[in-house]
Structure 1
Amino acid sequence: MIPLHELLFFVLAALVLVISPGPNMIYLISKSITQGKKSGMISLTGIVCGFLFHIIMVSFGLTAVLLAVPVAYTVLKALGTVYLLYLAYQAVKPKSRNIFEVDKNGSHDSPGKLFTVGFLTNVLNPKVAVFYLSFFPQFIKPEYGSVLTQSLELGVIQVFVSFSINFIIVLAAARVAVFFAENPFWVKVQKWFMASVLMFLAAKMALSKAK
């Protein structure tokens, strides 16, 4: 077992990861506000499963292989970059719906689509894999027992931290919808702001290098 004091440091690192603005947070806020808390929770489930995907990859050493092969990392990074640019286009395309606008027509994405997009938003972000690969080795030591068990232990903690914070985000975002519905000025501002953030994230991802 990993000592408690080291686990507390890992919890802090996991907290920094989840509160840092990124595709996951943007997607959760968008769906929670436009389609309600239920859709936000389904999206969150997809995001959490994306974390589980990365954890399994790291735990069994697959992520290390992926990042050690430049071509494989480049392909994953390219997919993530294109996906973020696609989301940016969706935010500003003609007749696009404001992500802060309450859905008054009852038109909701299907649970399957919400889950899938949430999952892909997380899986197609190589920075998540880099985080795991960078931080896990700092806390895993042979003298603490099975390396696989320690890796899974850290993964479970990270998922718990991520779920807890994102759950709060889902609840808060849904309540903020009323404010934005009553302030139409923010409709245009938010579209270009969110598109700019997504394009910045895409550029940052495109310029990132495997470590």
Structure 2
Amino acid sequence: MEHYYLFVITTLLIALTPGADTVLVTKNTLFRGKGVGFKTVGGVCAGITIHIAIAVLGLSAIIANSVLLFTIIKYIGAAFLILMGIVTLFSKKPNLSSDTTTSEKTPIRSYFFQGMFSNVLNPKAIIFFMSFLPQFIVPEEHTLFQMIIIGITPVLITFIWLFFYVNLINYIRSWFNKPSFLSAFQRLTGLMLITLGMKLAFEKR
């Protein structure tokens, strides 16, 4: 593969850049613990895997070149983020001292789907993987092997970074077990998700 190290560095920088995925992982880990945080991370990585599979199968080009499909995905993704923001704003204020493993009523799998849909319903990711991945493929070499390596790399890098990040958030969450902080952070998180959703909705291709 050509310039694989550049691919790794670029993928790492993208993983470190805060976005909707980071906001969801932060919120779920801080309010519900690292178990829920890891479920959200699993969903994000599943979303990346789906994007890569779509890119490899060539469907990304079809979606990216279809104004209608691109717009539909964009608005669904925006609506999802806005809905998550509204739910976060008006949900019951959490208590970090409570036993979230027994008191949490939301099915644990829902946090996995939150992470997955947050990633999958981002149309910019479709464009990114469609245009970014092929730049590092050398046609003269084993194409399938290159696609597998390049496909696995973003998933592994994102997982490793978010695994570290979840543990960091879980470590410091006990420092912020104050109702005033939790209330302010919950409102901030909700507003951030709504803002990201509106930004996605009004963004041009």
TM-score, normalised on structure 2? 0.90
Amino acid across the alignment from 1:161: I
Q: Is 1:209–2:204 an aligned residue pair?
A: yes
User: What's the offset of the Cα at 1:103?
Assistant: 5.9
User: What's the offset of the Cα at 1:172?
Assistant: 0.8
User: What's the offset of the Cα at 1:203?
Assistant: 2.4
2:154 paired residue among 154, 158, 161: 158
Q: Is 1:121–2:118 an aligned residue pair?
A: yes
SS of the residue 1:143 aligns to: coil
Worse-matched range after superposition: 118-127 or 153-162:
118-127
1:57 paired residue among 31, 54, 57: 54
Task: Provide the C-alpha distance between the structure 2 equivalents of 1:184 and 1:126, rounded to a whole number of angstroms.
Answer: 37
Instruction: Give deviations 1:105-150, integer Å, cap 9, x for gaps.
Output: 532232321222221111111122222122112212312331x432
Alignment gaps of 5+ in structure 2: none
Amino acid across the alignment from 1:204: K
Q: Counterpart in 2 of 1:41?
A: 38
Task: Provide the C-alpha distance between the structure 1 equivalents of 2:34 and 2:188, rounded to a whole number of angstroms.
Answer: 23
Task: Provide the C-alpha distance between the structure 1 equivalents of 2:28 and 2:192, rounded to a whole number of angstroms.
Answer: 17
Q: Counterpart in 1 of 2:180?
A: 185
Off by >6 Å, runs of 4+ in structure 1: none
Task: Provide the C-alpha distance between the structure 1 equivalents of 2:153 and 2:47, rounded to a whole number of angstroms.
Answer: 15
Task: Provide the C-alpha distance between the structure 1 equivalents of 2:198 and 2:97, rounded to a whole number of angstroms.
Answer: 31
Q: Counterpart in 2 of 1:96?
A: 92
Task: Provide the C-alpha distance between the structure 1 equivalents of 2:110 and 2:180, rounded to a whole number of angstroms.
Answer: 30
| Identical positions, percent | 25
Amino acid across the alignment from 1:209: K
Structure 1 contact 33–175 (Cα < 8 Å) conserved: no
Structure 1 contact 39–114 (Cα < 8 Å) conserved: yes
SS of the residue 2:140 aligns to: helix
Task: Provide the C-alpha distance between the structure 2 equivalents of 1:137 and 1:192, rounded to a whole number of angstroms.
Answer: 41
TM-score, normalised on structure 1? 0.87
**Aligned Cα root-mean-square deviation (Å):** 1.8
User: What's the offset of the Cα at 1:15?
Assistant: 1.1
Instruction: Give deviations 1:188-207, integer Å, cap 9, x for gaps.
Output: 32133222321221122113
Amino acid across the alignment from 2:180: F
User: What's the offset of the Cα at 1:186?
Assistant: 2.0
Task: Provide the C-alpha distance between the structure 1 equivalents of 2:57 and 2:130, rounded to a whole number of angstroms.
Answer: 11
Task: Provide the C-alpha distance between the structure 2 equivalents of 1:30 and 1:193, rounded to a whole number of angstroms.
Answer: 10
Instruction: Give deviations 1:77-99, integer Å, cap 9, x for gaps.
Output: 00000011011111212x5335x
